[in-house]
Structure 1
Amino acid sequence: MLDLRMVPLLIGSLYFRLSPILCAIVILLRGLHGIDLGFYMTLTINGILSIALWIVSPYFMRLKSKYRIICSSFLALIMSLFILLVVLNTSGSAHTLDLYIAYIVIPPLGIAIITYIIEAFEKINTQRKLLIKVEKKEAVEQMGAAISHEIRNPLTSAIGFVELLTREPLDSEKSKQYLAILKDELDLAEKIIQDYLTYSKPITEHTKELNIQEELPIVLKLLQPLANYYSVKIVSDLSSTSLIDGDRAKFQHTFINIIKNNIVSLTDGGVISITTKETKTKILITITSPTTENQMESKVLDTSIDFGIIRNIKGTVRTKRTEQETTYYFTFRKQKTSYIFW
């Protein structure tokens, strides 16, 4: 018989600091087999373990990845040796090779494998977050040039009206008219800057119900300066009014980056089409743009992270590419509508 209780006990205690709860569960399960000497031994050993692992856990989490693997395996080996000594001295078991393997090799090896998997997933998740930040920084830099160009127009108009107000004596009505135009131009510039700064903020985790018809226009409005800069026309038909469940910041970031990549690839201009449709259970978002020969491969690479984000917010992605155009199909599960009856 292999006693593998220490595997979840050690993992849960070291990574999540759940040693009091896990040790209590082990003691309770042992108690179901009867209150005898074995139960009291389990009570004593796990009582000490719960305190020891509770103290060790914070120091364990400060270690580097490879040292966490070594440390968890070493703790498992120490526990296995202790349990083996108890078994040999209380049950009269023979000193057989399979007994030593069962207690000294299997549990530490299992702990090492599970710890390695946890650390690998943690490393992948960290690298993925870093890639998202790098990708977003690149998008912000590209959009910055286009937005600065877009802001120049209202600021130029505003400067012109300021000069008119300072050079010529104007009647009250004319001055009010010029000041109103000046305010509108400055408000436009301020709105463009505000949208840009909002997108530049770090992404935070916040899941809520999203209205596609409200979120996509925000994305398209923010990308309009970049589209103008590259002489790209964005055509949209957003007919879906249903809700999906997802993170707003991630949703906007993903679609901004995907559409931005398509805009930047159209060096000679073109048309990008965004449409939404819905069925009884799903919402379909379609993005179509001309395919450029020199960037067919880079489009796939640039959007791989974004596709991963879409899948994380419970969406699916499908790509169809021809020599003439590239189409992305994004499918989301539609949220059920809640009805209130009076």
Structure 2
Amino acid sequence: MDLRLIPFIIGSLYAGMGIILGILAVIVRGFFGFDLGFILNALLYLTLAHISIKWAPKFLVLLPKQRILVAVYITLAIGILQGLALDFITQEHPWGAYTAYLFIQPIGVGLIAFFLEELCKSNKFKNHKVETKRLEAVEQMGAAISHEIRNPLTAALGFVQLLENDQLNEEERELYLSILKQELHSAENVIQDYLTFSDPNIEKEKFDLIQEVTNVVHSLKPHAQKNEIRIITVLPKNVIIEGDRQKLRQCLMNIMKNALEAMENGGLLKVKVILHYSTVTIRIKDTGPGMTKEQIERIGEPYYSTKGDRGTGLGLMVVFSIIRAMNGTIHAESEVGKGTVFEISLPTIPSDIEIRTMSNIYI
């Protein structure tokens, strides 16, 4: 006994492939001879294929349980017709064939239909969950951004109202204007961070990575000295990469500044550049309080920050976006009480690399 009816029913009802499967079933039957059985099979499958064009759209709008039952009932009805046809041809009572037609085929269709419905249900649930998370991320990111913009704008509005006072002297007016400018600049920075995240717009140019790392370290040295933090660098010479110089500097500045702020009671910040065959890794390690596994997993989310009310997570969100746009990768590891390590890997230009290492210590 063959079970051609099972894939035919499933394919015609769920995939609308009744015509193709019907013709295929007739062709396969032809390999066993062109007899009365072939003629009856051809009539059966070609008729069912024609009917399936109309029943498939109506079938798909039914509820899952209804679809399973309808598929089983249709298979059972066709199985009865097959049994009667076989009885007519052989003039006997082949009970084994009746068992296949009336039990095996309906059960097979029912099981496959059940698994298909469960698979569809699982996929719908997964897609719904993904969509819900996306909406949640957008909502929370929007709330974080609006919060960060509202604060400087509220302050700016207050100083605008103060500037409307005609009795202000020139010194007070200049002070208020200076503060107003700073608040508006803060709001602009938040908007720029969001635009950088959504579209990094990388301008590619060749530049010396070591020079940029050195510049960032020098600019942070006063802040480090104030908090009694030592910065140690281990750098090779002339590591040429291609990317956006300014945006990479922004990334390095953000990560190193976060590391310095984490070490409130002093500590050590080590910046090491490691050369590989076709990539270069910037390793930034601090001796701060570290983070838990849950915090590390959420690093880079647009609405998550370990700084509490002092941050929104937009800084590292932008860092991740920029590094990806430069065809690089970023990885963070941390252990509570032992500090945090950030590793940024970027593609290099091998012909311009000189593998000679030097160390500088900034106190």
Counterpart of 1:6 in structure 2 is: 5
2:333 alignment partner, SS class: strand
1:181-196 to 2 correspondences below 5 Å: 188=189, 190-191=191-192
- CA displacement, residues 171-206 of structure 1 (integer Å, 9 cap, x when unaligned): xxxxxxx9x9999777655545667899xxxxxxxx
Counterpart of 1:21 in structure 2 is: 20
Counterpart of 1:99 in structure 2 is: 97
Distance across 2 between alignment mates of 1:122 and 1:107: 22
**Cα gap change, 1:109/1:258 in structure 2, threshold over 3 Å: closer, same or farther?**
farther
**Cα gap change, 1:262/1:286 in structure 2, threshold over 3 Å: closer, same or farther?**
farther
> How many residues in Structure 1 have an aligned counterpart in Structure 2?
246
Counterpart of 1:119 in structure 2 is: 117
Counterpart of 2:78 in structure 1 is: 79
Matched residue type, 1:67: Q
Counterpart of 2:301 in structure 1 is: 260
In the TM superposition, what is the alpha-carbon distance from 1:43 to its structure 2 partner?
Answer: 1.7
Counterpart of 1:144 in structure 2 is: 142
1:215-230 to 2 correspondences below 5 Å: none
- Tell me the TM-score normalized by structure 2: 0.51
Counterpart of 2:53 in structure 1 is: 54
In the TM superposition, what is the alpha-carbon distance from 1:11 to its structure 2 partner?
Answer: 0.9
In the TM superposition, what is the alpha-carbon distance from 1:150 to its structure 2 partner?
Answer: 2.4
1:260 alignment partner, SS class: coil
Counterpart of 2:66 in structure 1 is: 67
Counterpart of 2:34 in structure 1 is: 35
- CA displacement, residues 300-333 of structure 1 (integer Å, 9 cap, x when unaligned): xxxxxxxxxxxxxxxxxxxxxxx97999xxxxxx
Distance across 2 between alignment mates of 1:124 and 1:85: 40
Counterpart of 2:333 in structure 1 is: 288
Counterpart of 2:130 in structure 1 is: 132
Higher relative contact order (Cα pairs below 8 Å, separated by 6+ residues): 2
Distance across 2 between alignment mates of 1:76 and 1:326: 63
Structural RMSD (CA): 5.3
Matched residue type, 2:331: T
**Cα gap change, 1:25/1:196 in structure 2, threshold over 3 Å: closer, same or farther?**
same
Runs (4+) of structure 1 exceeding 6 A deviation are 160-168, 180-186, 195-198, 255-258, 268-274, 323-327
Distance across 1 between alignment mates of 2:304 and 2:184: 31
2:301 alignment partner, SS class: helix
- Tell me the TM-score normalized by structure 1: 0.54
Distance across 1 between alignment mates of 2:64 and 2:329: 41
Distance across 2 between alignment mates of 1:326 and 1:78: 68
**Structure 1: where are the runs of 5+ without partners?**
169-177, 199-212, 242-254, 278-282, 292-322, 328-342
- CA displacement, residues 126-151 of structure 1 (integer Å, 9 cap, x when unaligned): 11112122223333333233212322
Whichever of the two has the greater Rg, that structure is: 2
Distance across 2 between alignment mates of 1:326 and 1:113: 52
- CA displacement, residues 50-77 of structure 1 (integer Å, 9 cap, x when unaligned): 1111110111100111111111111111
2:72/2:106 contact within 8 Å kept: yes
1:136/1:257 contact within 8 Å kept: no
**Cα gap change, 1:130/1:71 in structure 2, threshold over 3 Å: closer, same or farther?**
same
In the TM superposition, what is the alpha-carbon distance from 1:261 to its structure 2 partner?
Answer: 9.4
- CA displacement, residues 91-131 of structure 1 (integer Å, 9 cap, x when unaligned): 234343x3332111101101111111111011111111121
Counterpart of 1:313 in structure 2 is: none
Distance across 2 between alignment mates of 1:155 and 1:58: 56
Distance across 2 between alignment mates of 1:267 and 1:289: 18
